[in-house]
Chains A and B, each alone.
Chain A
Amino acid sequence: MATITLKNISKVFESTGKKKSEENTRTLAVSDFNLEIKDKEFVVLVGPSGCGKSTTLRMIAGLEEISSGELYIDDVLVNDIEPKDRDIAMVFQNYALYPHMTVYDNIAYPLKLHKVPKAEIQERVMEAARILDIEQYLKRKPKALSGGQRQRVAIGRAIVRNPKVLLMDEPLSNLDAKLRNQMRAEIIALRSKINTTFVYVTHDQTEAMTLGDRIVIMKDGFIQQAASPQDAFDHPANIFVAGFIGAPSMNFFPGKLLRQGDVYCVQVEDLIVQLPEEKCARLAGKDVQPQDITVGVRPSHINVDTGVENELTGTINVSEMMGTEVHLHVKSSGNDVVIIVPVIGSYASYEKYLRQDEVVKFSFTGEACHVFDSEGKNLEF
């Protein structure tokens, strides 16, 4: 139940050279990070390893010093406040359960440290255990639990205190795929049971998309885009976000942006498609000039064998039958293109897409196109 404000937050790791000849190295882990997290919002920080997402989370937790900038929790500057005084809870990737304590004692530990009366501890531990369905394991030690159960205990220890902010650092990355899906659903369910602000770190874009009210995509310490999952998917701010969000990744083609008055067209090889009105309006509003661009199209937005004029052609390298759809990996004029072909109708209708080296023709409409300039920035922004 708190707002979090990050103002120009930066984190520099300095390591001193071992010999006099070696220079001290400065690594910029997080750079000029600005974000306002609303009360009870679920924000997901997502990005590849080393992008600074965990460092940002640890700065919010107080486990990492802030090199510069200001961090507010509920409008209180907390830069120099100890983690224990920030009223936050955190779930760690490795669970970090106390191995010499029973599950009950693990969950009760934060309450004991806050000198909560014994009867209330009992009540609240039982409540947390009930929410997470771990009541039958309370007397066990962590080593007698499975990975999923341990993670539940870790979550229990975090929620038992009714913290202002709940931080989660890749909590599902140690679980196997099936359990991960199950726990993901449980976290969504948990959210409706406990009213608090969530900040969640993951490198998995699926987790980010499904969990977050808002996702913050990071790379090399910089925020690339902060938007709702759908917005980031539909209107990626740059090529990095476009490629990172969505699975399989977006396809990119070198192309040209053409303009006739307020109408814009995109040309890839010989295929020319007109952009829809709203895109044209945005481009015209910014007076974008014709130029060399990168065209991004999502695999599911590419159509095969539609008979459109000047279709692109390619040969199937690999085709992956997924049940309801086939993922084609196509080689086309030096580009690797992934196309999702829905499986509808009889086997004969899609059988040709399962054959290697089969030539396919494909195209896309203007609605499906994302246009990026030579620096990778979305021209619509």
Chain B
Amino acid sequence: MVRRQSKLSKVLLSIVLILFGIYAAFPIIWMLICSFKQNDYIFYWPPKIIDESFSFNTYIKVLTDPVKLRFFLNSYIVSGVVVVLTLIIGIMAAYAFSRYNFKFKKPINSLIVGVQAIPQIVLLIPYMGIIVAMKLFNTYWALILTYLVMTLPYCILMMTGYFNTLSKELDDSVRIDGGSRFRALWGVLVPISTPALVSVGLYTFMTAWNEYLFALVLTQTTNMRTIPIGINLLITEHNYDWSMMMSMSVLGSLPILILFLFFQKYFISGMSSGAIKE
């Protein structure tokens, strides 16, 4: 049944959507605006989008300060390694769940789902203990290992679901053509799973990039801090450097924004079409 929308309802709908759009985008817009102002001008009333203090000074300061650049480097290292490890481990685990039958498959699967349901704050103290005991406190590995616990379940579940949609005859075919199961996975299944891999990869990167709580607790020295902590370090007892915080936030958001734009074209369905008769 097709119902024609009246003009009025269309206009109303548009207004509501625009209002929600502004509501959602406002913090980001305000972040951008503030990053170009000097700290003192931020609280002027009425607020101006661009005032006489407009400059790129805070950006230059951030990008020339070795301490702050180190925050970025740390975040890139931790997030990058987490993405790579999550995908490698997750893909192989998902393949096993999708293609093999083994003892305790269901309980293990339930456990993986269950891990996600536990609030992270509950795990903070046990992890702290484990990380200290493993002598990994204040290292990249402290963050990487804990982030893997957060990102792997999602990756395994997503990839298992995706692999289940791919015909087992593809694996069989590779094995007959002269390859191993390993070859079937990395040579055929993974290349045609790009849409799922991109979304899992992005989710993983965002999780690692944005994480605050564990980064705060499991690292100690300034040279090991990541961006979320680095931004927070700008809040001192006597001074809130808002414009600096905002410019760091903008720079911190950029990688995710760029990744989204870059990988957008991979979010297309039907990468596997043509393999199997539908």
A residues within 8 Å of B by Cβ? 18, 58, 61-63, 82-84, 88-90, 92-100, 109-110, 113-114, 141-145, 147, 150, 157, 161, 174
Q: Does B175 lie within 8 Å of A83, measured CB to CB?
A: yes
Residue interface bits B5-26, CB-to-A below 8 A is 1, else 0: 0000000000000000000000
CB distance from A124 to the nearest CB of B (A): 14
A selection of 17 A-B contacts at a CB cut-off of 8 Å is A61-B176, A62-B176, A82-B180, A84-B175, A84-B178, A84-B179, A89-B176, A92-B169, A93-B169, A95-B276, A97-B275, A99-B192, A99-B274, A113-B183, A141-B274, A143-B273, A157-B173
> Total number of A-B contacts with CB less than 8 angstroms?
87
CB distance from A90 to the nearest CB of B (A): 5
Kindly state the separation between the CA atoms of A99 and B170 in the bound complex, as whole angstroms.
10
| A89 and chain B: residue at smallest CB distance | B176
Kindly state the separation between the CA atoms of A143 and B273 in the bound complex, as whole angstroms.
6
CB distance from B191 to the nearest CB of A (A): 5
Beyond A93-B277, A109-B177, list 20 extra A-B contacts (CB 8 Å).
A58-B172, A83-B175, A83-B176, A84-B175, A84-B177, A84-B179, A90-B173, A92-B169, A94-B169, A94-B276, A95-B275, A96-B275, A97-B275, A98-B173, A98-B188, A99-B274, A110-B176, A143-B270, A143-B274, A150-B274
CB distance from A266 to the nearest CB of B (A): 47
B residues within 8 Å of A by Cβ? 106, 167, 169-170, 172-173, 175-180, 183, 188, 191-192, 270-277
- Contact partners of B178 in chain A: CB under 8 A: 84, 110, 113-114, 161
Kindly state the separation between the CA atoms of A147 and B274 in the bound complex, as whole angstroms.
9
Q: Does B274 lie within 8 Å of A63, measured CB to CB?
A: no
- Contact partners of B272 in chain A: CB under 8 A: 99
CB distance from A47 to the nearest CB of B (A): 20
Q: Does B275 lie within 8 Å of A142, measured CB to CB?
A: yes
Q: Does B276 lie within 8 Å of A96, measured CB to CB?
A: yes
- Contact partners of B106 in chain A: CB under 8 A: 18
- Contact partners of A113 in chain B: CB under 8 A: 177-179, 183
- The answer to whether residues A92 and B175 also contact, given A113-B183, A143-B274, A147-B277 and a CB cut-off of 8 A, is no
- Contact partners of A157 in chain B: CB under 8 A: 173, 177
